[in-house]
Chain A
């Protein structure tokens, strides 16, 4: 077994996903604490991408090559990564917790008879042992998780858990090693990725957003929030379950699978604050949260919070805003 950490870098259309550098930062921090070197791996022959990785403070970069890696499929990526992991025999395999990684990493770990410590937000090292922290119950509770230490340990890190701009760069460029990997039968055939026809509403330019979550209870109640939006001159948006239920169209959805916004004011009404929602709105200048649960994770990013019933808050707030606006 080698004394190293392997970090997986994800790319599409010739560019790295920014969470790849967050995973790199996580791997470097673990490496420093454990006294292990970091090796980065990129799949699919792309010399430019491999060189980009080599500028970081890594032992080396593995460029795993096979013509079947030209486009992502879980079958090809799993075979390729299995080959790389068996060849390097690392202690840890660190990945960003992206949709692509979610799609193949559990299959990869299963080949080693284990699962991934997935969606971690922190990792601490003491006495050479790593304790990972992951959020459970949709962000309401944190869990400290350990493994039995058997290498390789697979761990994926949540977007934003580490800062990509803190991934250290190396003095000289690291060596890039090409590795021809074996890939077996690829059973699924991807078509090109696409975006739905241009969205009718573009919330990315809105100054004020009033967002509703499951706490709104019924479609009829949305009218209440609309009155507040009108008073504040803002737009209505929602968490995923509201759009899933068809109460608002999908182009009103904020979050990892919806729109990303950064308004001056974001009012979250009856939204718990799951990470997939937070990534879409955490850069708002002022965040207000109204929730009857004082432990709701949304409060962790709110500037102003009201613990209470949104049905009491909205009418009073709407009237008070109208009055102040004169």
Chain B
């Protein structure tokens, strides 16, 4: 098990960032119906991972230390890495492999654990959930594999006092503070802080920063027993009869809607 490594207040933070399909992309189902067509898709960083990076950078600015980005997937994920470096991360680890975007969260966590274990971070931050698969598990499993305590859905980090505290979001407007020892792993909720833009200076500086490529151990990849497997994907069946208005003409639809709300739904 990891020990509290840095006696000084310097913090080494590892942020896990995943690349996912652009939120505005029109999704099409592929021929095998097991995933979406990725050929002409544009990609972006997973939403909550962007906030995990921002929070890491802010912590580093307060405490001093280092932010290391780690992303797993094909070469295309380099764009997520470069963007993170431009925003202020110090260096990066890229776990390379085409198939690595499509493994379950247990296998993903195993491979990520191998990739970051020797770094002996004080803190690991992940997003709370990926916007494509939506497992909401990789961070928590990773914490277990690294022997770290964890907290999920974190919306505030207090590293100013003697003890490290995090505020967790509970359901329907409730919150709770936890005190925990470091090293630890946090899964970050969107909105924890306002995300900065990359500056031109940052983009130039990023060109000189290290991106270390690693490949996963063959035994992890080969390991059978992926605990879950997609048989097929499809668009959800619509269960409600929606009256579609305007037939593609938004303005005509708007005029009809006003009538319907007035005479049919009688909301005014």
Contacts and interface: CB of A to CB of B under 8 A. Distances in A.
Interface in B163-181: 168-181
B61 to A, nearest CB: 20
Interface of A: 74-75, 78, 98-100, 102-104, 106-107, 109-111, 113-119, 131, 134-148, 150, 153, 187-196, 199, 207-208, 214, 232-233, 240-241, 243-246, 256-260, 264-265, 272, 285-286, 288-290, 293, 295, 297, 299-309, 312-314, 316-317, 320-321, 323-325
Nearest to B151: A188
Contacts of A144: 230-234
Interface in B160-202: 168-181, 189-191, 194
Contact of B267 (A99, A258, A264): A264
Contacts of A301: 240
Interface stretch (B64-72, B73-81, B139-147): B139-147
A114 to B, nearest CB: 3
Contacts of B179: 188-189, 191
Given A103-B152, A103-B153, A312-B251, A135 B134 contact: yes
A115 B104 contact: yes
Contacts of A259: 173
B178 A191 contact: yes
A109 B145 CA distance: 11
B246 interface: yes
Contacts of A285: 265
Given A193-B176, A324-B259, A308 B234 contact: no
Contact of A313 (B143, B190, B225, B250): B250
B8 interface: no
A51 B68 CA distance: 51
Majority SS at the chain A contact face: mixed
Contact of A142 (B135, B144, B151, B234): B234
Contacts of B174: 193-195
A153 B228 CA distance: 9
A110 B141 contact: yes
A18 B173 CA distance: 17
A299 B237 CA distance: 11
Given A74-B150, A110-B141, A257-B172, A299 B228 contact: no
A103 B169 CA distance: 11
A303 B173 contact: no
A286 B268 CA distance: 12
Interface of B: 21, 23, 26-27, 29, 36, 47, 51, 104-106, 109, 131-137, 140-141, 143-145, 149-153, 168-181, 189-191, 194, 224-236, 238-240, 242-246, 248-251, 253-255, 257-262, 265, 267-268
30 contacts: A74-B150, A99-B171, A102-B140, A106-B144, A107-B140, A107-B144, A109-B106, A110-B141, A113-B106, A114-B106, A114-B227, A119-B136, A141-B233, A144-B230, A188-B149, A188-B178, A188-B180, A189-B179, A190-B176, A193-B170, A240-B190, A245-B194, A257-B189, A286-B265, A303-B242, A304-B244, A307-B244, A307-B250, A308-B249, A316-B250
B140 A142 contact: no
B228 A146 contact: yes
A187 B149 contact: yes
B106 A110 contact: yes
Nearest to A251: B173
A325 B268 contact: yes
B248 to A, nearest CB: 7
Contacts of B259: 320, 324
B141 A106 contact: yes
Contact of B26 (A293, A297, A312, A321): A293
Given A141-B235, A295-B27, A260 B254 contact: no
Contacts of A141: 27, 29, 36, 233-236
A134 B130 CA distance: 14
B217 to A, nearest CB: 16
B254 to A, nearest CB: 4
Given A135-B236, A241-B190, A297-B236, A107 B143 contact: yes
Given A115-B228, A307-B244, A265 B261 contact: yes
A285 B268 CA distance: 13
Nearest to B244: A305
B172 A306 contact: no
B170 A189 contact: no
A22 to B, nearest CB: 14
Contacts of A116: 135, 137
